[in-house]
Structure 1
Amino acid sequence: MSTAEQAPAAPVSVAKNLKVSDLTAALAAGWGDFKAHPAFGLFFAAIYVGAGIFLYFALFVRGEIFWLVPAAAGFPLLAPFVAVGLYEVSRRREAGMPMSWRAVLGALRGHGDEQIISMGVILFVAFGFWLMIAHGIFAIFLAESGLASESMELFRTPAGIAMLVVGSFFGALIALAFYAITVASLPMLVDREVDFITAIIVSLATVRSNKRVMLIWAAAIATTLFVAMLPFFLGLFIVLPVLGHATWHLYRRSVSQSGPQAV
């Protein structure tokens, strides 16, 4: 039985006074972590980039070019899980703990209670759910356009433009919902021995208590990830590690440090 199961979780205090300056400070700290230990950031970014390139070629070879749009739009949903190792790097650097591949990669297992794995499953299910919604939206507007699914002309028709608008709206809602449940929960699961439901509740409370700042952070993440994906995903080698480390530091600013922490 894990520590999180043996003892009740200690009360957690969420900051209600986050400022934009906290975001810039988190980014500066994230950049510092990346510069101090670039190998870890490049490693996790390479996994994410490799998966993106594989997905691109898989869809391109099969002639399903249209699916690149929803796949690229939903791909950032998986970024928080990939960043778990980056949270561990930042945690260890902050605590002055020794850095090793075994310790950093071991963070993906959590504290032996499968809580982080459970969150990973949720994220992958969310990605699949988004693709199902995108498929439904596409089917509706494709029927109206009369064009084949592999025709890029679809995006130039009124039906195609409407499809992009509707798809973007639903995609933004899904992305915002999963941002709200992961922005503090995954760093917290790395930091403490708590269950993922508690971590999700804390994450939602963080967003609710600091709506303006957390929405700015969400927009910054979405924008920078999108721009970084444009040059064949290569920008993610810098953007993903810095954002991952920065998210850890924002978590540390927004959630109090009482309660059982990892060692």
Structure 2
Amino acid sequence: MSGAALERLHGAPALNPPTPVHLRAALAAGWLDFVAAPAFGLLAAALSLLAGWAMTALTIWAGHTFWLVLGVFGFPLVAPITALGTYEVSRLRGLGETPTVGRVLQTLWAERTRQLPPLAALMMFMLLFWFFLGHMIFALFLGLKPMTNIMSSADVFLSVDGLMMLALGSLVGGLFALLLYAICVMGLPMLLDREVDYVTALLTSIGVVRANAGVMLAWAVFIALLLLLAMLPAFLGLLVVLPWLGHTSWHVYAGLRVE
């Protein structure tokens, strides 16, 4: 790998305010990266697809299909982790380098001694905490009621208690999603791009979201809806949407970065 691909500047970069025009340009650039170098994005998306199928089969087999609901709504919380390889592909292309699966895997393996693992661990902890809270909310409203399998009937969720549970669960899940989004939208690509500690990266990312709340919240809603729609047809849409959004996320960050 060339020195240009390995060299990283120190410290968090200054970041320009995002605009709708910039976000649309990032979507277009992300699609071009996906088409030009689809191998790693398709590999990561295929692993996510298999994980989704396995989770569905396990919850149906165990008869605890409520966990499937938590999993579907929890996946967007950690989806950025699965897109790290696409960040590196786009980073290499931006440097004029030729990305290959081997080079991307080599870079990601090297990250094990840097700052990405602590941030990834924080994201996974928040996902597990979301599962814990989601189960508590379910027990609070429906714990004493017979559970209807949601694969055959949604009646249990259409009761008064069921609707209240969904409302509270959606609120709590939305707050988790917002916090993780604020941490990751600039934090993850920054850690791949710069020599910076993960606390500085996540605080910088939160600062960008807070300072540009309207645009960044609209972008978050767009990402969440696209991921949820991609999961509807047996998770198959993730094969395209996940790599595309991964490449796009890199371009959102890189396009705002002040060199």
Quick check: TM above 0.5? yes
Query: Is 2:217 the partner of 1:207?
Result: no
Q: Which runs of 5+ in 2 are unaligned?
A: 1-8
Equivalent residues in 2 for 1:170-209, closer than 5 Å: 170-209=172-211
Q: CA deviation at 1:109?
A: 3.2
Mapped partners of 1:95, 1:114: distance in 2: 21
Corresponding residue of 2:34: 34
Shift of 1:147: 2.2
Please name the residue that 2:22 is paired with.
22
CA offset at residue 72 of structure 1?
0.6
The separation in 2 between residues aligned to 1:233 and 1:111, in whole angstroms, is 28
Q: Which residue of 1 aligns with 2:5?
A: none
**1:149 positional shift:** 6.0
Give CA deviations for 1:56-112 in whole Å, capped at 9, x if unaligned. Answer: 111111001111111110011111111111000000011111222222113333545
**What's the TM-score once normalised by structure 1's chain length?**
0.89
CA distance, structure 2, for counterparts of residue 149 and residue 138 of structure 1: 13
Structure 1 unmatched ranges of 5 or more: 1-7, 258-263
Q: Aligned equivalents of 1:135 and 1:115: distance in 2? A: 31
Written as runs of structure 1 = structure 2, the 5 A alignment for 1:209-248 is 209-248=211-250
* One-letter identity of the residue aligned with 1:56: T
Tell me the number of residue pairs that the alignment of Structure 1 and Structure 2 aligns: 248
Matches within 5 A, 1:145-164: 146-148=145-147, 150=149, 152-164=154-166
State the partner residue of 2:121. 121
1:48, distance to aligned residue in structure 2 (A)? 1.2
Q: Does 1:98 align with 2:133?
A: no
Distance 1:11 1:157, change over 3 A: closer
Question: Equivalents in 2 of 1:68, 1:250: separation in Å?
Answer: 31
What's 2:4 paired with?
Answer: none
Q: Say if 1:107 and 1:190, in contact at 8 Å, map to a contact too.
A: no
Given that residues 109 and 116 in structure 1 are in contact (C-alpha distance below 8 angstroms), is that contact kept between their aligned partners in structure 2? no
Native 8 Å contact 2:186 2:201 kept in 1: yes
Counterpart of 1:169, as a letter, is: L
Aligned CA-pair RMSD: 1.7
Matched, 1:13 2:10: no
State the TM-score, normalizing by the size of structure 2: 0.91
